[in-house]
Structure 1
């Protein structure tokens, strides 16, 4: 899926969102504008704005109004990424130098803070207090998710439940509210807003599980960063947790994780990645992602008949087979 290719009737509106996204970070400070623009120009799927617009199709669709939801959500997502890159000591993202790599950690942290502030400024133009409540609660949960991930670096005793709660906070929640807030901003019926939240939540869970699988099985060209980055930084993802639960694999995987930890970010992780890829953990993680997609499609079936249901279904299917 190339950017915008699968969104049909939304192409023109997404081009407008893209233009306004760039405009939203201009004018306050030259260097912060430059670093923010560097991050945004690295691209991305822009799934969160797309979900906002698709959600808006279930109510009174107003692009100008929806832009004040779509752009803040993308800015919040971008801010979380630039902060992640500092924590992960990441040199590249989407094949480009990260802000922390091209500038430094302090500049990257302030860039993330600037993007958060810009998101909140734009959202204030919407007068519905429910939107602000949902958005602020999600940002709190995202922060908790980030802290939980740091706490669990190299924690080989963590459970599948811990992992799922973490990705709910870090990834699924923002996708869920993107679908929900688009519908709320368009004054859709509460039942429709709730179903869109359920659809987005399950797509978001599957999306992150697929992302973690790609980190193990993708190439640097596909990922825009070296494969195995999660293991190198100590992020124990679902396939690794499942591999650790296999008595035949546990000892070898534990030994590799211990070796990686001792190298403090400089380890060759190819052997560790090969071990996990050869374990039952890959298939088990794929099966769980598929179950989340099935739940998303079930919620989608309960929504009123609209042309955009095909777009939402296409995105769900894209998540199941994506290679980047």
Structure 2
């Protein structure tokens, strides 16, 4: 239901999103049976396609041409897909979006090569874009994402980390790719530098808000809606903002430590979720997400008059207030 609501917000882009879907199918094809099967497994799992949507909307502030813009939108979605495959190996995740992950369906080796293959396809697609700045933005984005994956490994199962560690991690995990989607869309559309800058800042702020909401939902949503057990982030060793705010709670901390060391029972998981949902940690994390969302909305106000601004605002509000 929530995903349907989101798609309604950019229904007028449906024909262009369909173009991108077809390009994605072609991009993940290869002569290898394993790579084909693994890539299609990931592609068919679906997704919100937020990054391509932001590319398209940003490009509409300039000279919009889907035949050019698609060569930016596709690489960004491919990078997102490839990073998910790598994340699932790092986190030893068995499920994503209610389906077995690539590493669960095949194995770690195939999953890692599959992620690398998808990254390579992203770079290949960008060769259709002449602007040097676009290649610089994309390469920097990929470097930052890879650094983020390493930082995620370094910070694993560390409850006593500071907030700065968390924020720099989600910047590289999520926000930078959404920011780059907006920036690259602006480049593909040939917007002026000021417009491109505001779009990039919008993407960064909305990406930070989006990831914090994702981390909140891991505690507040249900196993069914998440497509995986609630509290999975912590059980996989990833300490998120709600956990950082709750770690000083004498009743919650021992349960969180059990989640991190892998000794948590099902009843203890349920106890942890119940206590987390009642704690002020969720409200505090939501407040931080709201601050980022407010900054994103201010960036929209700074953009040139364009009917696309309403779409950006509606999607940002959805991302910052979603329940799934």
**What is the TM-score when the length of structure 1 is the normalising length?**
0.95
8 Å Cα contact 1:171-1:205 kept in structure 2: yes
Deviation string for 1:230-271 (max 9, x for gaps)?
A: 111111100111112x4xx1x333312332233368775222
8 Å Cα contact 1:228-1:273 kept in structure 2: yes
8 Å Cα contact 2:91-2:237 kept in structure 1: no
Correspondence for 1:278: 278
Cα deviation, residue 171, structure 1: 0.4
Deviation string for 1:17-41 (max 9, x for gaps)?
A: 1111111111332220111011010
Cα deviation, residue 121, structure 1: 0.5
Listed as ranges, the matches of 1:194-205 within 5 Å are 194-205=197-208
- Write the distance in 1 (CA, Å) between the matches of 2:180 and 2:170: 14
Runs of 4+ in 1 over 3 A off after TM superposition: 264-268
8 Å Cα contact 1:222-1:323 kept in structure 2: no
8 Å Cα contact 2:51-2:181 kept in structure 1: yes
- Write the distance in 1 (CA, Å) between the matches of 2:273 and 2:8: 32
- Write the distance in 2 (CA, Å) between the matches of 1:104 and 1:311: 40
8 Å Cα contact 2:246-2:253 kept in structure 1: no
- Write the distance in 2 (CA, Å) between the matches of 1:265 and 1:114: 36
- Write the distance in 1 (CA, Å) between the matches of 2:143 and 2:263: 30
Correspondence for 1:255: 254
The count of aligned residue pairs is 320
**What is the TM-score when the length of structure 2 is the normalising length?**
0.95
Give the stretch that moved more between structures: 45-54 or 301-310.
301-310
Correspondence for 2:320: 320
Cα deviation, residue 52, structure 1: 0.3
15 and 266 in structure 1: CA distance in 2 versus 1, 3 angstrom threshold: farther
1:48 has 2:51 as partner: yes
Helix, strand or coil for the counterpart of 1:269?
helix
In structure 2, runs of 5+ residues without a counterpart are none
8 Å Cα contact 1:82-1:112 kept in structure 2: yes
- Write the distance in 2 (CA, Å) between the matches of 1:192 and 1:150: 36
1:129 has 2:132 as partner: yes
201 and 120 in structure 1: CA distance in 2 versus 1, 3 angstrom threshold: same
- Write the distance in 1 (CA, Å) between the matches of 2:216 and 2:314: 20
2:164 is matched with which residue: 149, 153, 161?
Answer: 161
Correspondence for 2:34: 31
In structure 1, runs of 5+ residues without a counterpart are none
1:61 has 2:64 as partner: yes
Listed as ranges, the matches of 1:100-111 within 5 Å are 100-111=103-114
Listed as ranges, the matches of 1:1-324 within 5 Å are 1-2=3-4, 4-244=7-247, 246=248, 249=249, 251-263=250-262, 269-324=269-324
Cα deviation, residue 156, structure 1: 1.5
Helix, strand or coil for the counterpart of 1:252?
coil
157 and 259 in structure 1: CA distance in 2 versus 1, 3 angstrom threshold: same
- Write the distance in 1 (CA, Å) between the matches of 2:123 and 2:31: 15
